[in-house]
Amino acid sequence: MPRKVLILSASAGAGHVRAAQALERAFEASGEVEEVRHVDTLEFTNPLFRRMYSKAYIDMVNTMPEVLGWLYDQLDTPWKNRPTKLAFEKLNTRPFAKLLRKYQPDVTVCTHFLPAEIIAWMRAKAKLVCRQATVVTDFDVHAMWLCQRCEHYFVAIDETRAHLQELGISPGHITVTGIPIDPVFSAPADKAAMRLKHGLRADLTTILVSAGGFGVGRVEELLDSLVNLRNEAQIIAVCGKNEELKTKVENQVARLASHPRVTFKVLGFTKEMHELMTAADLIVGKPGGLTTSEALAKGLIYVVVNPIPGQEERNSDHLLEEGAAIRCNNLPVLAYKVDKLLDDPARLAAMRANSLRLARPNAAMDIVSLVNKM
């Protein structure tokens, strides 16, 4: 059993960090390690590099997602430009390498590709002695996740395992576990009780609109469209850490209050997303890997709107293929598409069943169990 486990994320988007936090809780709950530590790798890089990875990413999601999608596609060439990429990352992550040498973990578990590459290089050069695992936090695997000396990959679905095998990764080094989410999402909870707790009506269709942890996306436009629903509904709008967005949405909701069929509840950052997902029937927004995995665990039907080109579009494809989502490409017809779904109870039930079939709520504990045996 490992004595010291180091979990490594990167705060470029909230999902990598949430996956790491779920694993941290699972390791602690296992009782089989002496010490577990979670580190945001970007905190041990130079400021310019950190800005490029975090703030620049969020800015691109908000202002030029098509450029982000172009970059995603351009960089998705397996095993290409590895020496150049590694040299650039080594130059900017010297404090991180120093941390690894000082801490000397027995096992490293990476929920982002940046630390995985550095660790693999240090192990190859005998600068670090530890076992290494990588947890892919989207349904597809991008070339940036590939690391020739990584000992084990944990992936979301069977197709991704097949993809890695075709790229030369040994089948024995890949396990399909799903994406790790907080254990609270697998705990039984009563829908009516959660609606009552959060000031919602127990008898109304409940729609969750989430802007993610960092509050990105066109939430105001989504609400402008959803207010035209024919079916009576209540909408929870979660704005994440974006206080400016929360204020805008609150002002918008005050203007929309005269609509009789739709009511709104606006929240900022919350640690009760598992309760809100329990209360909800549908989730509308961008299908990030972590949010999607949490929603599936709660049996939610995804209404995909404005996915980030690249990884979120691919996540969307998998949900649509499995019958767990619908997609709206034109916001003016969002209410029409949701109404059409709500008018068909049999379809709703089938899609909810598909969501629960795809869910892997115990992914974090499954990963920890396997890592502890490495």
Residues 246, 219 contacting (CB under 8 angstroms): no
C-alpha pair distances (Å), 134 with each of 99, 110, 150, 282, 307:
19, 5, 7, 31, 25
- The 3-state DSSP class for residue 201 equals coil
By C-alpha distance, which of 309, 306, 281 is closest to 295?
Answer: 281
Tell me if the pTM is above 0.85: yes
Residue 163: the pLDDT is 96
Residue 87: the pLDDT is 66
Residues 209, 236 contacting (CB under 8 angstroms): yes
Give the single-character DSSP code of 228: T
b/e map of 176-201 (b: 16 or more CB within 10 Å)?
Answer: bbbbbbbbbbbeebebeebbeebebe
C-alpha pair distances (Å), 335 with each of 218, 229, 292, 312, 318:
15, 5, 21, 22, 23
| Other C-beta atoms lying within 10 Å of the C-beta of residue 3 | 11
- The C-alpha atoms of residue 319 and residue 301 are separated, in whole angstroms, by 9
C-alpha pair distances (Å), 17 with each of 59, 103, 143:
18, 20, 20
Per-residue pLDDT of the chain (374 residues; tens, 9 = 90+): 668 999 999 887 788 999 999 999 999 998 888 899 999 998 888 887 777 766 667 777 777 778 777 877 887 888 776 666 666 676 677 888 899 999 999 999 999 988 988 898 889 888 889 999 999 999 999 988 988 788 899 999 999 999 999 999 999 999 999 999 999 998 889 999 999 999 999 999 999 998 665 445 678 889 989 999 999 999 999 988 888 888 888 888 888 877 778 999 999 888 999 999 999 999 999 899 999 999 999 999 999 998 888 889 999 999 999 999 999 999 999 999 999 999 999 999 999 999 999 999 999 999 999 998 87
By C-alpha distance, which of 366, 364, 374 is closest to 106?
Answer: 374
Residue 64: the pLDDT is 74
Structure token pair of residue 12: 């470029």
Dihedral sign computed on CA atoms, order 327, 332, 333, 339: positive
Which residue shows structure tokens 């927004």? 285
Residue 215: the pLDDT is 46
- The C-alpha atoms of residue 257 and residue 254 are separated, in whole angstroms, by 5
Domains annotated on the chain, with CATH: 4-180 (3.40.50), 186-358 (3.40.50.2000)
Residues 229, 258 contacting (CB under 8 angstroms): no
The string of pLDDT tens digits covering residues 44-56 is 888 877 777 666 6
